[in-house]
Structure 1
Amino acid sequence: MSRLATRLVAVLVPVALLAPAAARAEKVVTEDAVGDAVTLVDEAVDLDEAVPAPDHEATDVIRTAVAHGAKRLRVGVAFRALERDPFQFIVIRVRTPQGNYELLVERLGGKPITSIDRGPRTVGCDGLGAKVDLRADTVTASLPTSCLDAPRWVQIGAGVVSVSGQQANPELVAAYADDAHRDGAIRDNIATGPKVRRG
């Protein structure tokens, strides 16, 4: 070993030992079927009347990634192709041992708007936010685990609804939806994935 390498090792080993351990988070990634978005047509309002809309890429969830750390929970939702100027709502269901929460990300143009509810009441949560990455076609929501009473584990579900109009007929709008943990089906309750324990 050269003198330079020996000196580098002599300096770096003590520094590495003194550095604080990195905060770890358990991360779970679940895949969703590609092309399983649905739409309600004409005057249909019953979810059972939804029909497949495999070409609607902006609503089609393909992957959900959950990172549950000691202090922060991050949920990334990946799509086939996000719209730049959307009218889109992403509802993230968070199931914990203490109860259920609903995290809402509204994409109405500009910066996404976030809020979190527990049952009928809105929860105050400093540090709650969401980021949109159009290059990666992902929306990532993040919040302190203290807003959820620091749960030992979480189960996450994601449901997406997008509304789009037709340029030829602006009065005609269509609603598209996808459940990240169901294959081509939409129900009143969003399905959740596996338990993700706190890292």
Structure 2
Amino acid sequence: MSRLILFNKPFGCLSQFSGSGVAADAVTLSRFIAVPGVYPAGRLDRDSEGLLLLTDDGRLQARIAEPRHKMAKTYLAQVEGEPLPGALDALRRGVRLKDGTTLPAEVERIADPDLWPRDPPIRFRKNVADCWLSLTIREGRNRQVRRMTAAVGHPTLRLVRHAVGGWSVDGLAPGEWREIAV
């Protein structure tokens, strides 16, 4: 039976257990998860938070992480400014980036989500508005959501991966994990 771990990766944590190029004081998965034989199925940047899946099953890992499977990944993004309908439509059509045009995203403006406080907090600027978007993508390019929102004029301030496929971070505080049956 395969193991699947849902982990709420905190801000500042690397999506790896250890390795070359990692500073001795770097926060890695080994600080939170002491389960032998599991590996991340995909990555989240150090400055992104939320759902990271880990498994001991290579086929499951590939199904989750490989772009050819187009598994939906839903992010909550706090962006600078208040996007007009044209910016949201551009995200829905696909955005041209340096490495090509993205697949269309499902995107909608949402109310401020009920999330855990981020440490360190996002810098508040009273003269610059911000809002939250829910974006679902089916690719996994490097820093893709951040690059997409920046391309339409609304840089991402905070990024939380809420769900991958049918799995979500609901009920997990930062640094917590649970194993589920697959």
* TM-score bracket for the superposition, by shorter chain length: under 0.3
Which structure has more helix as a fraction of its residues?
2
Please report the TM-score for the alignment, with normalisation by the length of structure 1. 0.22
Which structure ranks higher in relative contact order (CA pairs < 8 Å, sequence separation ≥ 6)? Answer: 2
Please report the TM-score for the alignment, with normalisation by the length of structure 2. 0.24
